[in-house]
Amino acid sequence: MNQTENNLPQNALINRRSAMQKITALGSALALSPQIVFGQDNQTTFKIAINNGKVYTDNQIKPVSVGVTWDNKLKISSVALKGKTEIDATGKIVSPGFIDILADNAGSPETTYRTFEKYKLTDGATTVLQMHGGAAYPAQFHAKFDPLPHYVNYGVGVFVMILRLRFAALADRLKYTEKGLAEGAIGVCHSIEYQPTPYNELLAYAKLAQKYNRPYFLHLRYSAEETELEGVKEAIKLAQDSGARIHIDHLHSTGGTFNMSKALDLIQNANNSGLEITTCVYPYSYWATYLISKRFDPGWEQRFKLKPEDLTVVGTGEKLNRAKFNAYRNRAGLLVAVPEGTMPMEKTVNLALQTDFCMIGSDGGIEHEPKANNHPRGAGCFATAVRHGIKMGMSLEKTLSKVTTLPAKLMRGAMDNRGVIAEGKIADLTIFDPKTINGKASVANPNQFSEGIDYVILNGELVYQDQKILKSNGKAIRY
């Protein structure tokens, strides 16, 4: 007992000791209770607290709570959290924000990017990377677009097709490809069905991708039953000869339409040998592309076992016939879709999704309103993919890996702090109802928001709720 306590009356001494015991007990409770952390704004713990949901974290679905800190990072807790904004996620899935690695809005982004991004956000995508197209001069792209408001995180690869149109000399093409990579582009993108290119030139681009440790996205050159596997083999050879990691765009529509099992075996064997080859699919049984493209060069009817009467103009529902096909053939920007079932899901998409190297990529975007001439995958790809995974009996964990962790791993370096729900990672989240999630976009009307996407949190801010966009908070993704 100290001297001060000696001078106190007995009843005062007992009251002081009792008070000290209570203070000590309260301090211990605070230390052991992670949901009580005095922070900013009226002593709430987190900017956003999400409770009662099932959370996709560490490759599992877990009943934990998620907090968004005041510096927009993630916190996971086994007990309920308190926040300035609190979300009751009962019956919902809390997922990392969906990542679209194969978006395309390269035509006229200055006038279309807000519409393009809006339909990505409302489909649950928080990061949208234009790796099927991109920008010929990525630094100029970012100088123009970074000061503007964005609904989603965004990034571009080097658009080789444009460089090849602008420069006749291979040295110039390679110079600007490397310049784009040095200035922060997130990869190299090329479509050799639409722009046939000699192998040695493809290899030169692949070596640049390997030099900068970026992926090389490749739309294969052969879309026919007899030759499509040659395209897959060419991609594998590029990986062998360059050491680059190769991503094959939408394998079910180019490379594995007719021979998916064999194409997947080729890729798996290549990966088993130490290469890194990935691919993606979109969850639709039909493709769409521009009528002016080389895909409709003479012989297309034999290659795809289709005829002009099978084609529909997207956004209007207009059916073509041979006369209309010939009249519209050279009309720039007219996109037509083939019939549903052209690529049977059970023979293409479903097989690819069973592998560990296949992810989801939209291969598109919505450019105009009220009815766009764009494939519905531009608005409904990710909600449709989650619904399809549930329908085919694939675990939700595996489905979500294909729209979050696998794309983030492919784009590593640029996406290291996104694509997962883990301590300290950036708070990009999509909260959805597994019973109702689905894409509504159709060939007749692509401009429809997806169902079942309840909340989207982007860079720590709630940006989408109850079918309403609340704010813009997207950031540039680059090296």
Residue type (1 letter), 166? R
In 10 A of CB 90, how many CB atoms? 9
Structure confidence at residue 7 (pLDDT): 40
Indicate the range of 15-19, 132-136, 347-351 predicted with least confidence: 15-19
Residue 29 lies in a domain: no
Structure confidence at residue 44 (pLDDT): 67
Look at 37 and 199; give whichever has higher pLDDT.
199
pLDDT above 90 covers what percent of the chain? 88
pLDDT over 70 (residue 43) = no
Structure confidence at residue 119 (pLDDT): 98
Residue 50 lies in a domain: no
Q: Based on the structure, what is the number of domains in the chain?
A: 1
Sign (positive or negative) of CA dihedral 140, 146, 149, 154: positive
- Which of the four pLDDT bands, split at 50, 70 and 90, describes residue 163? very high
Q: Rounded to an integer, what distance in angstroms lies between the CA atom of residue 382 and that of residue 456?
A: 13
Residue 470 lies in a domain: no
Which domain CATH number covers 173? 3.20.20.140
Residue 399 lies in a domain: yes
- Which of the four pLDDT bands, split at 50, 70 and 90, describes residue 223? confident
pLDDT over 80 (residue 2) = no
Could you report the per-residue pLDDT of 4-18, keeping only the tens digit for each? 333 444 444 334 444
Stretch 83-110: mean pLDDT:
96
Q: Rounded to an integer, what distance in angstroms lies between the CA atom of residue 118 and that of residue 365?
A: 10
Stretch 193-197: mean pLDDT:
96
Q: Is the pTM of this model over 0.95?
A: no
Residue 3 lies in a domain: no
Q: Which domain holds residue 292?
A: 97-423+434-445
Residue 160 lies in a domain: yes
Residue 2 lies in a domain: no
pLDDT over 70 (residue 32) = no
- Which of the four pLDDT bands, split at 50, 70 and 90, describes residue 107? confident
Question: Is the omega angle on the peptide bond into residue 9 within 30 degrees of 0, that is, cis?
Answer: no
Stretch 79-88: mean pLDDT:
97
pLDDT over 70 (residue 28) = no
Structure confidence at residue 4 (pLDDT): 38
Stretch 369-374: mean pLDDT:
93
Encode 125-155: b = buried (16+ Cβ within 10 Å), e = exposed: bbbbbbbbbbbbbbeebbeebeeeebbbbbb
Q: How far is CA 45 from CA 36, 53, 89, 95, 248, in A?
A: 6, 18, 18, 21, 44
Mean of pLDDT over the chain: 92
pLDDT over 80 (residue 54) = yes
pLDDT over 90 (residue 22) = no
Of 256, 157, 241, the C-alpha closest to 202 is 241
Residue 47 lies in a domain: no
Burial class of residue 59 (count of CB atoms within 10 Å of its CB; 0-12, 13-18, 19+): exposed
- Which of the four pLDDT bands, split at 50, 70 and 90, describes residue 368? very high
Rg value, the chain, Cα = 26
Residue type (1 letter), 422? A
Encode 318-334: b = buried (16+ Cβ within 10 Å), e = exposed: eebeeebbeebeeeeee
Could you report the per-residue pLDDT of 245-286, keeping only the tens digit for each? 999 999 999 999 999 999 999 999 999 999 999 999 999 999
